[in-house]
Structure 1
Amino acid sequence: MNTLERKTLNKTLLAVSTITALTQLQTASAANIAGTDVKFNGYIKVDAMYSDYSNGEGIGPMRDIYVPSLVQTGAEDDDLGGRFDAHAKQSRFRFTTNTPVDGENSVTGVLEFDFLLTSGGDERVSNSYVPRLRHAYLQYGNWLVGQTWSTIMDLGALVDSVDFIGTTDGVAFTRQPQIRYTNNGFSIALENPETTVGTTETAQITTDDNSVPDLIATYTMKTGWGHVKFGGLVRQLAYEIAEEDYTETGVSLSLSSRINIGNGDDIRIQVASGSGIGRYVGVNAANGAFLNAEGKFEAVDATAVTLAYRHTWNERSRSNIIFSSLDVDTIEGMVGSLTNDVYSTRINYIQHITAPLSLGIEYTYAKRETVNGFDGDMSRVQVSARYDF
């Protein structure tokens, strides 16, 4: 066998061994995937809205979704006219896996993304936006570990809205990493902490100075007429500046319920109140703590309330009337632009063209007042088309 023949044979043997190895790897992967149920779902949602602001033209994410703290205020009404915006950023996709283990148990994993509130993209040419991580968690037995909705939230009492949240002012709404144990309606969790602080000079500082996680415990009672959920939150409020460490404890309680009243109609109620509740309600319209000029560090009290009524017209259409508010106890020395109270009301109509395709229209009115007594409002008409898959 000459040199050329030997080289040809070696290449042939290498190719055969490579193909064999790849085949074995693919077989192993297929066997692994065969043992795991993988599901892909989500929705495509397109929103268009016309907004009339009493002060300014709406800033940042306020042009895409309702954010209570971004309702602009001023000494005078400087209405510049309405603004039209359209986007598909709320569209999302979700992977869910389920792997049987130990004969009777299974491990579930969830990974979900959407495109809201990301830094990439603009409206000039392509309207391209980068995905953001919403959920990434695993469940095994009674345990949940990873990033998902805070345990204090009540998903069953969230309102049916065309807007992204719909009761943004008065609802607990937080996603964060956590470890949670649930059994017989009781849940207890340690969740990722974060403190927002106001000073006499700065409206809001994100400190990242916490040394212990937030502690949350809830109990959900299900009945023939719906459910009710009780919750408690204990958290450390922490701020380190100029080699000084400030800490305080925040304690708050929550109550939420969905009450079925027949024919598909229901009433949804959520109340959360306490000291240092801060970022857990109103999309952080209130700080958790305040540091005054004398160095006194104290938790800020706030109360969030939501009340909504859903009426089902027929099996394909429904409407919702919604009220949501946040009241913040002001402390002497707070920066004047901080929120003192804010509320929103809305009414909508949602029609299913087919089971996965729906159209919605919603009117929203929101008003905000600041610590220095200035106020401002927003009126918005929003329409949407949504395809669930």
Structure 2
Amino acid sequence: MKTRKVRGGLRLLLLSATCMTASPLLAQDASVDERLDRLEALVEGLIERLDAQQMAAQQSEAELRAEQKAMRAQSEALLAETQRMQSNNQPLEQQLAALTERSGDGFQVGKTRITYDGYVKFDAISQRTSGGQLANNSILRDFLIPGAIPVGGNASGFDTDFSARQTRFLFKTETDVGTEHKLTGLIELDFNVTDGGNERVSNSFVPRIRQAVISYDNWTFGQTWSTFQNVGALPDSLDFIGVTPGTVFDRQPLIRYTNGGLQIAVEQPETTVTSPTGARVLPGDDQLPDVVGRYNWSGDWGSFTAAGIVRQLHVSTDDLMGVDDSAFAYGLSLSGKLKVGEKDDLRFMATAGDGLGRYIGLNIVNDAAIDASGNLDPIFTYSGFAAYRHVWGAKTRSTLGGSYFKADNPILLTTNQVTDESWNAFANIIWTPVPPLDIGVELMYAERSLEDGRSGNLQRVQFSTRYNF
């Protein structure tokens, strides 16, 4: 229709123009008709070309709209998928961000992020022991071991030692195993309580494994702090532990399940027995793991932990005249860290139980003794500590602490040459000139008494520097 109108309009236009310029001579009418026919043919050709171009343009526009619609649909689908993936990956991203924040020196190996930390520590210790001179290789010269304090000697001893053996190094790993699971690892080394080295030439000591742990979601496998111990309650001391007589302290292989504040674990068993001569015997033939249950509470006020343990003590050895027996052991420990004011805190622990010997104070007494019938008799103990930390300012802090241990030894079975009680007290001041570096001085007094009434004490001054990295 549109083409006919255009053609008609052009015909009228050409006819009008021709009539206006036509000669009055009738002989020219034929030539005018011919020219009109030629012009009409040209116009029709032009119109056909315009129609073809218009149809092509309409077709291209339709194809472009279809292509744009398809691209828009694909973009919307891709955006939705990206948002879904981002939502699913958010926890993992947060974990990786936190890991990077904790250690900017970490590095990536495949899907595993590796970070590290630890510290370099130097100790200078001068101490006097009232019960006699300490042996050159005595572990008591590095840190407080209550069961090693000399008693009943005729002369006191005085020793000064420098050491860097508490220096510690940790590797931490976190492997990307998807958004539904979390896999981490930890290896920790130090140089304490190891062979090698001497104070004469090299002072070279071999490293040891403190911790080697695999964590998968809620499960922990490997060697780490016993679930019965609350590491977070330990005081801020320069000594390795600080309140050794009154604290649970044990690292060992275990399997642990954690769900919120609840922890349940089975841990390496090991029975320590006092022989009829008072000697310590390690049979090494335990049958069942130690079982620990624990619950942790925390809030703005601080933290509190309640832990219980059940053990089977077992002996089957010729070292104890062919004794073959087992006994039930148990214990309960309450501990925590309570905030006092804006920056101060009070840390504490109270523990009691039957057959807990190796868990308390670095095995001050043994788990059990042997009665006249060849049966195990668990030894009851109770212990505890308290430590108050005061922050003087942005760079200085101090801790005042003390601990106590008591054993109810069956002396008819253990003799009266075993430890009856032990206690200690300490005070320190620690200065932090820059945040990674601590410099401090600590004074300590510790005492140990035997069942026969003999006792010995230790007086110590310790200077330490520690660079945390």
Is 1:192 aligned to 2:271, yes or no?
Answer: no
State yes or no: 1:347 paired with 2:424.
no
Question: Corresponding residue for 1:240?
Answer: 316
Match of 1:211 in 2: 287
| Larger strand percent | 1
Q: Is the 8 A contact 1:96 1:110 kept in 2?
A: yes
Structure of higher RCO (CA pairs closer than 8 Å, 6+ residues apart): 1
* Secondary structure, aligned partner of 2:220: strand
- Partner SS state of residue 56, structure 1: coil
Structure 1 segment 133-212 matched on structure 2, within 5 A: 133-212=209-288
Alpha-carbon separation, structure 2, partners of 1:263 and 1:58: 43
- In the TM superposition, what whole-angstrom CA distance separates every residue of 1:112-145 from its partner, at most 9, and x where no partner exists? 1000000221111100000010000111111100
Give a deviation string over 1:79-105, Cα, whole Å, max 9, x none: 13x210110000011100000103342
Query: Is the aligned partner of 1:321 residue 2:403?
Result: no
Structure with more helix by fraction: 2
Matched, 1:120 2:188: no
Change (3 A) 1:249 1:55: same
| Distance in 1 separating the partners of 2:206 and 2:313 | 32
Name 1:62's counterpart in structure 2. Answer: 140
CA contact (8 A) 1:199 1:335 kept: no
Q: Which residue of 1 aligns with 2:155?
A: 78
Determine if the alignment matches structure 1 residue 53 to structure 2 residue 129. Answer: yes
Contact residue 120 and residue 167 of structure 2 kept, 8 A: yes
Q: Tell me the alpha carbon deviations over residues 246-299 of structure 1, each in whole angstroms, 9 at most, x when there is no partner.
A: 110101101001110113101111011000011111000010010134423210
1:204-353 to structure 2, matched below 5 A, reads 204-242=280-318, 243-333=322-412, 334-353=414-433
> Larger radius of gyration, structure 1 or 2?
2
**By how many angstroms is 1:198 displaced?**
0.1
| 2:411/2:451 contact within 8 Å kept | no
Question: 1:199 deviation in Å?
Answer: 1.6
Q: Equivalents in 2 of 1:337, 1:204: separation in Å?
A: 12
CA drift of 1:378 comes to 0.5
Distance 2:341 2:396 in 1: 16
Contact in 2 for aligned 1:304/1:326 (Cα 8 Å): yes
**Distance of 1:203 and 1:41 partners within structure 2:** 41
SS in 1 for 2:232: helix
What is the CA deviation profile of residues 158-183 of structure 1, one whole-angstrom value per residue up to 9, with x for unaligned ones? Answer: 11000001111111110000000011
SS in 1 for 2:109: helix
Partners in 2 of 1:227 and 1:262 — Cα distance? 15
Q: TM-score by structure 2 length?
A: 0.74
TM-superposed deviation, 1:241: 2.4
Identity of aligned residues (%): 39
Counterpart of 2:368, as a letter, is A
Q: What is the CA–CA distance in structure 2 between the aligned matches of 1:295 and 1:336, rounded to whole Å? A: 19
Paired with 1:292 and 1:58, the residues of 2 have a C-alpha distance of: 33
Runs of 4+ in 1 over 4 A off after TM superposition: none
Instruction: Provide, for residues 14-40 of structure 1, a one-character-per-residue CA deviation record: whole Å limited to 9, x for no partner.
Output: xxxxxxxxxxxxxxxxx9813211012
Once the two structures are TM-superposed, the CA of residue 69 in structure 1 deviates from its matched residue by: 0.2
1:340 CA drift (Å): 0.5
The separation in 2 between residues aligned to 1:348 and 1:77, in whole angstroms, is: 31
Q: What CA distance in whole angstroms lies between the structure 2 residues aligned with 1:266 and 1:286?
A: 31
CA–CA distance in structure 1, aligned partners of residues 134 and 462 of structure 2: 15
Letter in 1 for 2:149: V
Aligned length in residues? 357
Indicate the residue corresponding to 1:381 in structure 2. 461
Residues 283, 315 of structure 2: 8 Å contact kept:
yes
Kept after mapping to 2: 8 A contact 1:311/1:320: yes
Secondary structure of 1:267 counterpart: strand
What amino acid is the match of 1:186? L
- Alpha carbons 2:442, 2:463 under 8 Å: kept: yes
- Gapped regions of structure 1 (runs ≥ 5): 1-30
Alignment-mate amino acid for residue 340 of structure 2: I
CA distance in 2, matches of 1:336, 1:127: 39
State the shift of 1:77 in Å.
Answer: 4.5
Contact 1:157–1:270 (Cα < 8 Å) also in 2: yes
Q: What amino acid maps onto 1:87 in structure 2?
A: S
2: distance between equivalents of 1:39 and 1:223?
29
Q: Which amino acid aligns with 1:51?
A: Q
CA contact (8 A) 1:54 1:377 kept: yes
The whole-number CA distance in structure 2 between the counterparts of 1:152 and 1:208 is: 21
1:224 Cα offset (Å)? 2.1
Unaligned 5+ residue runs, structure 2? Answer: 1-106
CA distance in structure 2 between the aligned counterparts of 1:247 and 1:100, rounded to whole angstroms: 46
One-letter amino acid of the counterpart of residue 153, structure 1 = Q
Which amino acid in the other structure matches residue 328 of structure 2?
A: T
